[in-house]
Amino acid sequence: MLYFLNDYSEGAHEKVLQHLIDTNMEQLPGYGTDHYCEEAKEKIKKACGCEDAEVFLLTGGTQTNQDCH
């Protein structure tokens, strides 16, 4: 059985760890302004079938909940 108590009590999949190793020394601008965030936004829009959607990436659940009011 898999238990998902929270997002910080389990290890990462080996492919995730390898990608972190591969990109460890990349110099990137601040959160939300790098090419990874832009690629993620495009994938989210495509998955939702709404290419003109606005996607906002937030840093955690508390911030997300505050923005949803």
32 dihedral zone (left: phi>0; alpha: psi -120 to 50; beta): left
Question: What's the predicted TM-score (pTM) here?
Answer: 0.67
Q: Is residue 9 part of a domain?
A: no
Q: How many domains does the chain have?
A: 1
> In this structure, is residue 7 part of a structural domain?
no
- Checking 40-49 for CB contacts under 8 A at 24+ apart, the result is none
Q: Determine, yes or no, domain membership for 43.
A: yes
pLDDT of residue 8: 77
Report CA torsion sign: 31, 32, 38, 41.
positive
- pLDDT of amino acid 69: 57
The CA distances from residue 30 to 4, 55, 65, in Å, are: 29, 17, 22
pLDDT tens-place string over residues 25-52: 999 998 889 999 999 999 999 999 999 9
Q: Using one digit for the tens of pLDDT, what is the confidence trace for 4-21?
A: 777 777 788 999 999 999
Is residue 64 very low, low, confident or very high in pLDDT (cuts 50, 70, 90)? confident
